[in-house]
Amino acid sequence: MESENRPLDALNRARGHRVMVELKNGKQFMGVLKAFDIHINTVLENAEERVEGEMTRKLGTVFLRGDTIILISPE
């Protein structure tokens, strides 16, 4: 289907599931994908930050500004 070939459809299928978000500053956030918009502003729940594979912070709910994001991948 055409509608399943848009990039945001892949994010939509990941909604409610755990994802890994990688930022331009090299940090990663793991958490449940709660929301996103066309700017790729993203909200994770039960989020934790990882730097070089080590868990560095638990953040609960976190709003990530879209322009800081490199990639989002379902776990």
For binding to its own copies (CB under 8 A), which residues are involved? Answer: 5-11, 14-15, 23-25, 34-37, 40-43, 47, 59-74
Cβ 75 to its own copies, closest distance in Å?
9
Q: For 16-39, give one letter per residue: b (16+ CB within 10 A) or e.
A: eeebebbeeeeebbbbbbbebeee
Cβ 52 to its own copies, closest distance in Å?
12
Cβ 58 to its own copies, closest distance in Å?
10
Q: Whole-angstrom Cα distance, residue 63 to residue 9?
A: 20
